[in-house]
Amino acid sequence: MVVPESTMSTLPESVLEPDKKRPIPWVRLVVGLAVLGLAIYAPLYLTPSDNQTLSRVLYIAGAAMGLNLLTGFNGQISIGHGAFFGIGAFTTGILVVDHGWPLELTIPVGALIAAVVGVLIGFPALRVRGLYLALITLGLAVLFPRVASKYVDGLGGVALLQPSSQDRSSLIEGLDADQYQYYLTLFVVAILFILAWNVVRSRTGRAMISTRDQELAAQSVGINTSFTKVTTFALSAAFAGVAGSLSVMVNGVADATNPLIYFQLSIEFLIAVVIGGSATILGPLIGAAVLVLIQEQTTDLIEGKEILAPTVLGVALILIVYILPEGVVGGYRRLSGYAQRRWKARGTSPPPGPTNATTTPEPT
Protein backbone atom coordinates (compact mmCIF):
# COMPACT_ATOMS: atom_id res chain seq x y z
CA MET A 1 0.00 0.00 0.00
CA VAL A 2 1.29 3.44 -0.95
CA VAL A 3 0.95 6.00 1.83
CA PRO A 4 0.45 9.61 0.68
CA GLU A 5 3.23 11.96 1.63
CA SER A 6 0.82 14.19 3.57
CA THR A 7 -0.27 11.21 5.64
CA MET A 8 3.27 10.02 6.30
CA SER A 9 4.06 13.22 8.14
CA THR A 10 1.42 12.35 10.74
CA LEU A 11 2.43 8.74 11.28
CA PRO A 12 4.56 7.73 14.27
CA GLU A 13 8.23 7.17 13.55
CA SER A 14 7.89 3.56 14.71
CA VAL A 15 5.54 3.00 11.73
CA LEU A 16 7.72 4.81 9.21
CA GLU A 17 10.90 3.09 10.40
CA PRO A 18 9.81 -0.18 12.06
CA ASP A 19 13.34 -1.56 12.25
CA LYS A 20 14.65 1.39 14.20
CA LYS A 21 14.88 0.72 17.94
CA ARG A 22 14.80 3.47 20.48
CA PRO A 23 17.63 3.55 23.00
CA ILE A 24 16.70 2.23 26.42
CA PRO A 25 16.56 5.16 28.90
CA TRP A 26 18.76 3.49 31.48
CA VAL A 27 19.10 6.55 33.69
CA ARG A 28 15.36 7.07 33.89
CA LEU A 29 14.82 3.36 34.49
CA VAL A 30 17.30 3.20 37.36
CA VAL A 31 16.00 6.40 38.96
CA GLY A 32 12.42 5.21 38.57
CA LEU A 33 13.15 1.86 40.23
CA ALA A 34 14.99 3.61 43.06
CA VAL A 35 12.08 5.98 43.68
CA LEU A 36 9.62 3.08 43.54
CA GLY A 37 11.65 1.12 46.08
CA LEU A 38 11.82 4.15 48.36
CA ALA A 39 8.07 4.73 48.02
CA ILE A 40 7.35 1.11 48.98
CA TYR A 41 9.69 0.80 51.94
CA ALA A 42 9.62 4.31 53.45
CA PRO A 43 6.18 4.01 55.16
CA LEU A 44 7.40 0.99 57.14
CA TYR A 45 9.94 3.19 58.94
CA LEU A 46 8.14 6.54 59.14
CA THR A 47 5.76 7.85 61.79
CA PRO A 48 1.98 7.82 61.25
CA SER A 49 2.07 11.61 60.83
CA ASP A 50 4.71 11.35 58.11
CA ASN A 51 2.74 8.63 56.34
CA GLN A 52 -0.34 10.84 56.39
CA THR A 53 1.69 13.66 54.86
CA LEU A 54 2.96 11.37 52.09
CA SER A 55 -0.58 10.19 51.42
CA ARG A 56 -1.70 13.80 51.17
CA VAL A 57 1.02 14.46 48.60
CA LEU A 58 -0.25 11.53 46.56
CA TYR A 59 -3.94 12.42 46.47
CA ILE A 60 -3.16 16.06 45.70
CA ALA A 61 -0.94 14.81 42.87
CA GLY A 62 -3.84 12.73 41.54
CA ALA A 63 -6.20 15.71 41.50
CA ALA A 64 -3.49 17.92 39.99
CA MET A 65 -2.89 15.32 37.27
CA GLY A 66 -6.57 15.55 36.36
CA LEU A 67 -6.35 19.32 36.16
CA ASN A 68 -3.16 18.98 34.12
CA LEU A 69 -4.97 16.88 31.51
CA LEU A 70 -7.60 19.60 31.18
CA THR A 71 -5.46 22.73 31.42
CA GLY A 72 -1.98 21.59 30.40
CA PHE A 73 -2.78 19.17 27.59
CA ASN A 74 -6.21 20.40 26.44
CA GLY A 75 -5.89 24.13 27.14
CA GLN A 76 -9.09 24.64 29.19
CA ILE A 77 -8.52 26.71 32.32
CA SER A 78 -10.31 25.51 35.45
CA ILE A 79 -10.33 26.90 38.98
CA GLY A 80 -13.13 24.64 40.09
CA HIS A 81 -11.58 21.21 40.48
CA GLY A 82 -12.01 21.49 44.22
CA ALA A 83 -15.73 20.94 43.61
CA PHE A 84 -15.09 17.62 41.84
CA PHE A 85 -12.74 16.72 44.69
CA GLY A 86 -15.57 17.48 47.13
CA ILE A 87 -18.03 15.37 45.13
CA GLY A 88 -15.72 12.38 45.49
CA ALA A 89 -15.20 13.07 49.20
CA PHE A 90 -18.90 13.38 50.02
CA THR A 91 -19.83 10.40 47.85
CA THR A 92 -17.46 8.30 49.94
CA GLY A 93 -18.61 9.91 53.19
CA ILE A 94 -22.31 9.32 52.50
CA LEU A 95 -21.89 5.75 51.28
CA VAL A 96 -19.68 4.79 54.23
CA VAL A 97 -21.43 6.64 57.06
CA ASP A 98 -25.06 6.35 55.97
CA HIS A 99 -25.07 3.11 53.98
CA GLY A 100 -22.24 1.07 55.49
CA TRP A 101 -20.23 0.58 52.29
CA PRO A 102 -16.57 -0.47 52.48
CA LEU A 103 -14.57 2.65 51.83
CA GLU A 104 -12.53 1.04 49.05
CA LEU A 105 -15.65 0.31 46.98
CA THR A 106 -16.75 3.95 47.09
CA ILE A 107 -13.71 5.19 45.14
CA PRO A 108 -14.95 4.21 41.64
CA VAL A 109 -18.44 5.50 42.52
CA GLY A 110 -16.98 8.88 43.48
CA ALA A 111 -15.03 8.94 40.21
CA LEU A 112 -18.16 8.11 38.19
CA ILE A 113 -20.35 10.77 39.81
CA ALA A 114 -17.61 13.40 39.45
CA ALA A 115 -17.22 12.45 35.77
CA VAL A 116 -20.97 12.84 35.17
CA VAL A 117 -20.89 16.30 36.74
CA GLY A 118 -17.81 17.04 34.64
CA VAL A 119 -19.79 16.23 31.49
CA LEU A 120 -22.64 18.48 32.64
CA ILE A 121 -20.16 21.32 33.15
CA GLY A 122 -18.20 20.47 30.01
CA PHE A 123 -21.08 21.03 27.59
CA PRO A 124 -21.80 24.65 28.66
CA ALA A 125 -18.03 25.23 28.77
CA LEU A 126 -17.89 24.66 25.00
CA ARG A 127 -19.31 28.14 24.49
CA VAL A 128 -16.67 29.92 26.56
CA ARG A 129 -12.92 29.76 26.95
CA GLY A 130 -10.01 31.38 28.73
CA LEU A 131 -10.83 33.63 31.66
CA TYR A 132 -14.57 33.21 31.14
CA LEU A 133 -14.27 29.45 31.63
CA ALA A 134 -12.08 30.06 34.68
CA LEU A 135 -14.79 32.26 36.21
CA ILE A 136 -17.48 29.62 35.59
CA THR A 137 -15.43 26.91 37.27
CA LEU A 138 -14.55 29.32 40.07
CA GLY A 139 -18.26 29.74 40.74
CA LEU A 140 -18.61 25.94 40.88
CA ALA A 141 -15.92 25.68 43.57
CA VAL A 142 -17.51 28.44 45.67
CA LEU A 143 -21.04 27.07 45.20
CA PHE A 144 -20.29 23.46 46.15
CA PRO A 145 -19.96 23.97 49.96
CA ARG A 146 -23.34 25.77 50.02
CA VAL A 147 -25.02 22.95 48.11
CA ALA A 148 -23.42 20.38 50.42
CA SER A 149 -24.53 22.33 53.49
CA LYS A 150 -28.10 22.32 52.21
CA TYR A 151 -28.40 18.64 51.36
CA VAL A 152 -25.91 16.88 53.65
CA ASP A 153 -26.88 16.45 57.29
CA GLY A 154 -23.77 15.39 59.15
CA LEU A 155 -22.46 15.74 62.68
CA GLY A 156 -24.28 18.47 64.58
CA GLY A 157 -26.49 19.18 61.57
CA VAL A 158 -23.61 20.54 59.49
CA ALA A 159 -22.02 19.23 56.28
CA LEU A 160 -19.41 17.15 58.06
CA LEU A 161 -19.13 13.37 57.66
CA GLN A 162 -16.59 11.31 59.61
CA PRO A 163 -16.21 7.59 58.95
CA SER A 164 -15.22 5.64 62.04
CA SER A 165 -11.68 4.44 62.58
CA GLN A 166 -12.96 0.92 61.92
CA ASP A 167 -14.11 1.99 58.45
CA ARG A 168 -10.60 3.24 57.73
CA SER A 169 -8.71 0.35 59.30
CA SER A 170 -6.27 -1.89 57.46
CA LEU A 171 -7.57 -4.87 55.52
CA ILE A 172 -4.08 -6.41 55.37
CA GLU A 173 -2.83 -8.17 58.45
CA GLY A 174 0.46 -6.77 59.70
CA LEU A 175 -0.07 -3.27 58.31
CA ASP A 176 -1.05 -0.39 60.55
CA ALA A 177 -3.94 1.82 59.45
CA ASP A 178 -1.67 4.69 58.33
CA GLN A 179 0.52 2.30 56.32
CA TYR A 180 -2.47 0.67 54.67
CA GLN A 181 -3.97 4.06 53.79
CA TYR A 182 -0.68 5.12 52.24
CA TYR A 183 -0.32 1.95 50.16
CA LEU A 184 -3.91 2.14 48.95
CA THR A 185 -3.43 5.79 47.98
CA LEU A 186 -0.13 4.98 46.26
CA PHE A 187 -1.72 2.12 44.30
CA VAL A 188 -4.72 4.15 43.13
CA VAL A 189 -2.71 7.25 42.23
CA ALA A 190 -0.19 5.10 40.34
CA ILE A 191 -3.10 3.78 38.25
CA LEU A 192 -4.21 7.37 37.57
CA PHE A 193 -0.74 8.38 36.37
CA ILE A 194 -0.37 5.30 34.19
CA LEU A 195 -3.79 6.04 32.70
CA ALA A 196 -2.81 9.67 32.06
CA TRP A 197 0.48 8.59 30.45
CA ASN A 198 -1.33 6.22 28.10
CA VAL A 199 -4.02 8.77 27.25
CA VAL A 200 -1.46 11.44 26.37
CA ARG A 201 0.41 9.02 24.09
CA SER A 202 -2.76 7.82 22.37
CA ARG A 203 -4.80 9.28 19.53
CA THR A 204 -7.01 10.93 22.17
CA GLY A 205 -3.96 12.66 23.63
CA ARG A 206 -2.90 13.95 20.22
CA ALA A 207 -6.43 15.26 19.69
CA MET A 208 -6.26 17.03 23.07
CA ILE A 209 -2.96 18.71 22.24
CA SER A 210 -4.11 19.65 18.73
CA THR A 211 -7.27 21.21 20.17
CA ARG A 212 -5.16 23.19 22.61
CA ASP A 213 -2.63 24.45 20.04
CA GLN A 214 -4.65 24.89 16.83
CA GLU A 215 -8.35 24.24 17.30
CA LEU A 216 -9.39 25.35 13.80
CA ALA A 217 -6.66 23.28 12.19
CA ALA A 218 -7.70 20.29 14.29
CA GLN A 219 -11.28 20.65 13.12
CA SER A 220 -10.15 20.89 9.51
CA VAL A 221 -8.47 17.47 9.69
CA GLY A 222 -11.55 15.81 11.19
CA ILE A 223 -10.96 16.03 14.95
CA ASN A 224 -14.18 16.48 16.91
CA THR A 225 -12.91 19.20 19.22
CA SER A 226 -16.20 19.47 21.13
CA PHE A 227 -16.16 15.77 21.96
CA THR A 228 -12.49 16.02 22.92
CA LYS A 229 -13.13 18.90 25.30
CA VAL A 230 -16.10 17.27 27.02
CA THR A 231 -14.32 13.92 27.30
CA THR A 232 -11.25 15.56 28.78
CA PHE A 233 -13.42 17.50 31.23
CA ALA A 234 -15.09 14.26 32.37
CA LEU A 235 -11.77 12.41 32.73
CA SER A 236 -10.23 15.32 34.58
CA ALA A 237 -13.20 15.51 36.97
CA ALA A 238 -12.99 11.74 37.58
CA PHE A 239 -9.34 12.10 38.64
CA ALA A 240 -10.32 14.79 41.15
CA GLY A 241 -13.22 12.67 42.40
CA VAL A 242 -10.88 9.74 43.08
CA ALA A 243 -8.55 12.09 44.97
CA GLY A 244 -11.48 13.32 47.08
CA SER A 245 -12.46 9.76 48.02
CA LEU A 246 -8.85 9.01 48.98
CA SER A 247 -8.74 12.13 51.15
CA VAL A 248 -11.57 10.71 53.28
CA MET A 249 -9.53 7.53 53.73
CA VAL A 250 -6.46 9.55 54.76
CA ASN A 251 -7.98 12.43 56.75
CA GLY A 252 -11.12 10.70 58.00
CA VAL A 253 -13.50 13.51 57.10
CA ALA A 254 -15.58 15.02 54.31
CA ASP A 255 -15.97 18.66 55.28
CA ALA A 256 -17.93 21.51 53.70
CA THR A 257 -18.28 23.73 56.77
CA ASN A 258 -15.77 26.23 55.39
CA PRO A 259 -17.31 28.07 52.38
CA LEU A 260 -13.87 28.60 50.82
CA ILE A 261 -12.33 25.19 51.43
CA TYR A 262 -12.86 23.83 47.92
CA PHE A 263 -11.82 27.08 46.28
CA GLN A 264 -8.56 26.86 48.24
CA LEU A 265 -8.11 23.26 47.13
CA SER A 266 -8.68 24.29 43.50
CA ILE A 267 -5.90 26.85 43.83
CA GLU A 268 -3.62 24.24 45.41
CA PHE A 269 -4.15 21.86 42.49
CA LEU A 270 -3.35 24.65 40.04
CA ILE A 271 -0.25 25.60 42.01
CA ALA A 272 0.97 22.00 41.97
CA VAL A 273 0.62 21.91 38.17
CA VAL A 274 2.48 25.20 37.73
CA ILE A 275 5.30 24.28 40.12
CA GLY A 276 5.87 20.82 38.67
CA GLY A 277 5.40 21.76 35.03
CA SER A 278 2.28 22.04 32.92
CA ALA A 279 1.66 19.44 30.17
CA THR A 280 4.03 16.93 31.77
CA ILE A 281 3.34 13.63 33.49
CA LEU A 282 5.68 13.88 36.46
CA GLY A 283 5.03 17.59 36.99
CA PRO A 284 1.88 17.27 39.16
CA LEU A 285 3.57 14.76 41.48
CA ILE A 286 6.65 16.94 41.91
CA GLY A 287 4.50 20.04 42.31
CA ALA A 288 2.32 18.37 44.96
CA ALA A 289 5.40 17.31 46.92
CA VAL A 290 6.88 20.82 46.81
CA LEU A 291 3.53 22.40 47.73
CA VAL A 292 2.97 20.17 50.76
CA LEU A 293 6.59 20.61 51.86
CA ILE A 294 6.26 24.39 51.72
CA GLN A 295 2.97 24.27 53.60
CA GLU A 296 4.43 22.05 56.31
CA GLN A 297 7.54 24.20 56.70
CA THR A 298 5.71 27.54 56.74
CA THR A 299 3.22 26.25 59.31
CA ASP A 300 6.03 25.12 61.63
CA LEU A 301 7.97 28.34 61.02
CA ILE A 302 5.18 30.65 62.14
CA GLU A 303 3.52 28.40 64.68
CA GLY A 304 0.95 30.35 66.66
CA LYS A 305 0.49 32.87 63.84
CA GLU A 306 -1.46 30.76 61.37
CA ILE A 307 -2.94 33.85 59.77
CA LEU A 308 0.47 34.57 58.23
CA ALA A 309 0.80 31.10 56.66
CA PRO A 310 -0.87 32.02 53.33
CA THR A 311 1.39 35.07 53.01
CA VAL A 312 4.58 33.11 53.57
CA LEU A 313 3.34 30.36 51.25
CA GLY A 314 2.52 32.92 48.55
CA VAL A 315 5.96 34.53 48.74
CA ALA A 316 7.67 31.13 48.53
CA LEU A 317 5.60 30.14 45.51
CA ILE A 318 6.29 33.44 43.73
CA LEU A 319 10.03 32.86 44.17
CA ILE A 320 9.76 29.33 42.79
CA VAL A 321 7.76 30.44 39.74
CA TYR A 322 10.19 33.33 39.15
CA ILE A 323 13.19 31.01 39.23
CA LEU A 324 11.51 28.15 37.32
CA PRO A 325 8.83 29.71 35.09
CA GLU A 326 8.36 26.41 33.22
CA GLY A 327 8.14 24.37 36.41
CA VAL A 328 10.59 21.90 37.85
CA VAL A 329 10.34 19.51 34.90
CA GLY A 330 10.73 22.38 32.42
CA GLY A 331 13.73 23.65 34.37
CA TYR A 332 15.31 20.21 34.23
CA ARG A 333 14.80 20.04 30.48
CA ARG A 334 16.29 23.50 30.02
CA LEU A 335 19.32 22.61 32.17
CA SER A 336 19.76 19.30 30.33
CA GLY A 337 19.60 21.06 26.97
CA TYR A 338 22.17 23.63 28.11
CA ALA A 339 24.52 20.89 29.33
CA GLN A 340 24.26 18.98 26.06
CA ARG A 341 24.95 22.13 24.03
CA ARG A 342 28.07 22.67 26.13
CA TRP A 343 29.21 19.11 25.45
CA LYS A 344 28.66 19.57 21.75
CA ALA A 345 30.62 22.83 21.81
CA ARG A 346 33.55 20.95 23.33
CA GLY A 347 33.43 18.42 20.52
CA THR A 348 32.28 15.49 22.66
CA SER A 349 29.17 13.42 22.16
CA PRO A 350 26.66 14.01 24.94
CA PRO A 351 25.17 11.11 26.88
CA PRO A 352 21.67 10.01 25.86
CA GLY A 353 18.95 12.22 27.29
CA PRO A 354 15.54 13.63 26.55
CA THR A 355 16.90 16.53 24.50
CA ASN A 356 19.39 14.35 22.60
CA ALA A 357 16.73 12.18 20.98
CA THR A 358 15.99 12.64 17.30
CA THR A 359 12.38 11.60 17.75
CA THR A 360 9.60 13.67 19.17
CA PRO A 361 10.17 13.79 22.96
CA GLU A 362 7.72 11.76 24.99
CA PRO A 363 5.81 13.32 27.87
CA THR A 364 7.84 13.27 31.07
305-349: pLDDT as tens digits: 555 667 777 777 788 878 888 888 888 888 888 888 888 787 655
Partners of 255 in beta bridges = 160
Q: Sort 171 into a burial class: Cβ within 10 Å, 0-12 / 13-18 / 19+.
A: exposed
Confidence at residue 213, expressed as pLDDT on a 0 to 100 scale: 92
Q: Which amino acid is at 78?
A: S
**Does 24 score more than 90 pLDDT?**
no
Q: Which of 12-16, 28-32, 246-250, 272-276 has the lowest mean pLDDT?
A: 12-16
Give the single-character DSSP code of 156.
Answer: G
Distance CA 39, CA 298 (A): 25
- pTM of model > 0.75: yes
Distance CA 208, CA 205 (A): 5
| Closest by Cα among 13, 30, 32 to 22 | 13
Q: Which amino acid is at 225?
A: T
Q: What's the angle, vertex CA 56, arms to CA 205 and CA 242, rounded to 5?
A: 45
Confidence at residue 307, expressed as pLDDT on a 0 to 100 scale: 59
Q: What's the angle, vertex CA 16, arms to CA 15 and CA 19, rounded to 5?
A: 80
Q: Which amino acid is at 252?
A: G
| Helical spans, DSSP H, in the chain | 5-8, 13-16, 26-41, 48-67, 81-97, 103-125, 131-151, 177-201, 203-213, 215-220, 225-251, 261-276, 283-301, 309-323, 327-345
Confidence at residue 240, expressed as pLDDT on a 0 to 100 scale: 97
| Mean pLDDT over the full length of the chain | 85
Q: What's the angle, vertex CA 25, arms to CA 68 and CA 287, rounded to 5?
A: 25
